[in-house]
Structure 1
Amino acid sequence: MWTDTKAEGKQASGSGAGLHQRLLNTLLLCTGDMERLEKYMQDKMFVLQLAVWSLRGVARVILANNPLSGALILAALCWASPWQGLLGTLGLLASTLTAVIIGQDSAEVSGGLHGFNGMLVSLLMGVFSSAGDWYWWLLLPVCLGSATCTFLFSGLSPLLDRWDLPVAVFPFNIVILLYLLCTGPDNPYFPHHPAVPPGALEPNATQLSAAEVLYGIPLGVGQIYACGAMGPTLLILGAVLLYSPLLAVHALLGSAAGTLAGLSMAVRHASLYSGLSGFNGALGCIAVGGLFFTFSWRTHLFAIASAFLSAYADIALSNLLGTVGLPACSWAATLAATLMLLLTGRSLAAYRIPIGQVRAPEHNLRSRSQWEAGNTSDRESTDV
């Protein structure tokens, strides 16, 4: 009887361990790039494929590539503002469908590369519009501007491919500035708020609140999606964490670096509290910290340097463009990350990942470890 009880206990513990392992394996399937889902969706209906492509495009804004992360982020945007969620979805679909209609590369479309610029354009149009929420006339420039991003992406891609550089958000930055320049603050149909330079003097000088500054660090991640509410921002951070813990850590670290840069330049308190000082630093940090470079202590320091460079460049560009009422958007992070990718130092070139092979940071790190292990075994096998 004792032996039977013992065997049953082992079987129960084994089944419990097996259940935990199955749950872990299922969770792991939802992390990273979810490449198995891409294979599974190949023979499914176009509407379902479009949904997955679009959700990948949502996550691509923050340099992730996971449809579940995209779904969480879209839910966060709808939570913060249903109107912004509608605009973002419409811009996303307009740019993705434009890519399908004009016959763009299927791998780029399915990877969401033609969706994120359109989404950003539509979100910023809604944020800067002074006509208020549910202003239906705004849907016209949202659709046209998002579709234009696809054409710009297609035109810039062959040019930047020569240097193995990503198109990134160059189309978004170009289109949103052109839109704001064309309409102007007093346009009768599409009025918008003029941007305020971060270096502008405070109307009423008040004492800086350390708690509010710390509060603004996570908000810097949400501001990548033009979201300034803490609850939705935490959901966005959770979505990034689902895709890659390394990416989430670098996003917060980059936002902290951007906030510190803002403090050192005595920018307006509102920029610090709302996270606007941190979002370019967050983008610059996550681009280098394991995404386009394999993660190591050297590239980690390189990512922090990229965050500070992005933040200071953003302050300078914001003060410059703010004199004519224009925002700097994410020009600083885009230019800083492009500059970092152009560096050819031997110590960094060894960690550079070709654009076509970029995956989640953990996958990049695992692939590099396997490659180095293979090279080591090859060298040992050739030793005499």
Structure 2
Amino acid sequence: MVSIGNMLILEKNTPQQPEGLKQRFVSALLYCTGEMLQLHTHMQDQLFPLQLAEGCLRGISRVILLNNPLSGALILAALLLESPWQALLGMLGLLASTFTAIILGLDCEEVSSGIHGFNGMLVALLMGVFSSAGDWYWWLLMPVCLGGAATTFLSSSLAPILNHWDLPVSVFPFNTVIVLYLACTGVSNPYFPSHPSHPPGAPDSTNHTQLHVPQLLQGVVLGVGQIFACETVGPSLLILTAVFLFSPILAVYALLGSGISTMAALLSAYTDIALSNLLGVLGLPASSWAATLTGTLMLLLTGKKLKEYRIPTGKVTTPEQDLHSHKQWSAANTSTTDV
């Protein structure tokens, strides 16, 4: 026979079970967002292959300013869905740059955070994109490894210089190595032929008066995926999901930036057109020089009104955390200056 006390306990516990499941689900979801620092701390005591796997996944996500291994896994899945060959090249370039950083004895925390991997991955992906030899051309693996390693050397050389102005190395190594590689190989190279790059031609003289909204929205999503040379909607949506998992604010800004470039040639799009015309004469692509130079110039020329909102390069986390930290700093300064 069930006592009254037991009945009260059952009645008390029954409505809390769904709430407990909800709390566990929310906790698990929050655990997977942001930088996943708890996982990063836990991995410090694990075997080297596991640490390497986490660092590589973070390196994949670093390509689009993220720092989340789960986001990196989603992006890797998108690359596999888009092209297994491209995914293989990207991972090989990332491993080459990461192992070079380990051999050079660079900062262990930077290596485990993927900072020395994303430039190598970008170089490898663009080598595959511009190769006219087609997929599964095994000769391409050699320049992919060498190019990935070269980005680490260049990154470690640029870091002390740019640190004087609190500027990130960003993708300067990637842009430099890919342009040098394409300049040295060219279209008629017997082993590493590449597609020629031409300056943007004259606009189509046909007068298109109809605006296709679905195509416009699709172009906005594809603009995010093209960072990883993805040209289909499915992988692009996976990449956008990876960005949202790390930071919803960053995902919104990614869509806004892609939308602005799709609808009108604003911001760095002007620089991209100018560089495309300049380098296209030499048969070279503009790559991402426009975004790199524009972003670096904006950080370098930060005015007094914007300087107080500037987050030091070494303390940048998610936009949400940066906003929270700035609010706390502002509140502390206000309270200390009050009379």
TM-score between the two structures when normalised by the length of structure 1: 0.83
User: Per the alignment, do residues 198 and 5 of structure 1 end up closer, same or farther by CA in structure 2, a change over 3 Å counting?
Assistant: farther
Deviation at 1:3, TM superposition (A): 9.6
Note the 1:188-337 alignment, pairs <5 A.
Answer: 188-202=190-204, 205=206, 207=208, 210=212, 211-262=214-265, 308-337=266-295
Cross-structure match for 1:362: 320
Cross-structure match for 2:182: 180
Deviation at 1:89, TM superposition (A): 0.5
Cross-structure match for 1:268: none
* 1:351 alignment partner AA: Y
Note the 1:22-37 alignment, pairs <5 A.
Answer: 22-37=24-39
| Cα separation, 1, equivalents of 2:72 and 2:330 | 33
1:47 aligns with 2:5: no
Note the 1:123-138 alignment, pairs <5 A.
Answer: 123-138=125-140
Deviation at 1:2, TM superposition (A): 9.8
Note the 1:44-83 alignment, pairs <5 A.
Answer: 44-83=46-85
Q: Pick from 372, 379, 383: which aligns with 2:330?
A: 372
Moved more, 161-170 or 188-197: 188-197
Deviation at 1:357, TM superposition (A): 0.2
| Cα separation, 1, equivalents of 2:324 and 2:12 | 34
Cross-structure match for 2:305: 347
User: Per the alignment, do residues 122 and 7 of structure 1 end up closer, same or farther by CA in structure 2, a change over 3 Å counting?
Assistant: same
Cross-structure match for 1:291: none
* 2:273 alignment partner AA: I
Deviations 1:187-231 (A, max 9, x none): 1110011123334454x8473753433321110000111111110
Deviations 1:139-172 (A, max 9, x none): 0000000100000000000000000000000000
Matched residue count: 335
| Cα separation, 2, equivalents of 1:343 and 1:63 | 21
Cross-structure match for 1:276: none
* 2:327 alignment partner AA: S
TM-score between the two structures when normalised by the length of structure 2: 0.94
1:164 aligns with 2:122: no
Determine if contact 1:199/1:319 at 8 Å carries over to the other structure. no
| Cα separation, 1, equivalents of 2:334 and 2:21 | 37
| Cα separation, 2, equivalents of 1:4 and 1:45 | 48
Unmatched runs of 5 consecutive residues or more in structure 2: none
User: Per the alignment, do residues 34 and 193 of structure 1 end up closer, same or farther by CA in structure 2, a change over 3 Å counting?
Assistant: same
* 1:326 alignment partner AA: L
| Cα separation, 1, equivalents of 2:207 and 2:144 | 38
| Cα separation, 2, equivalents of 1:376 and 1:21 | 36
Deviation at 1:260, TM superposition (A): 2.2
User: Structure with the greater relative contact order (CA < 8 A, sep ≥ 6): 1 or 2?
Assistant: 2
| Cα separation, 2, equivalents of 1:377 and 1:4 | 53
Deviations 1:270-300 (A, max 9, x none): xxxxxxxxxxxxxxxxxxxxxxxxxxxxxxx
Deviations 1:321-340 (A, max 9, x none): 11222111110000111011
| Cα separation, 1, equivalents of 2:280 and 2:4 | 80
Deviation at 1:20, TM superposition (A): 1.0
Deviations 1:241-270 (A, max 9, x none): 0000000000000001111234xxxxxxxx
Moved more, 326-335 or 316-325: 316-325
| Cα separation, 1, equivalents of 2:207 and 2:280 | 23
Deviation at 1:94, TM superposition (A): 0.5
| Cα separation, 2, equivalents of 1:127 and 1:112 | 23
Deviation at 1:9, TM superposition (A): 4.2
Note the 1:104-115 alignment, pairs <5 A.
Answer: 104-115=106-117
| Cα separation, 1, equivalents of 2:144 and 2:211 | 37
Tell me the SS of whatever aligns to 2:189. coil
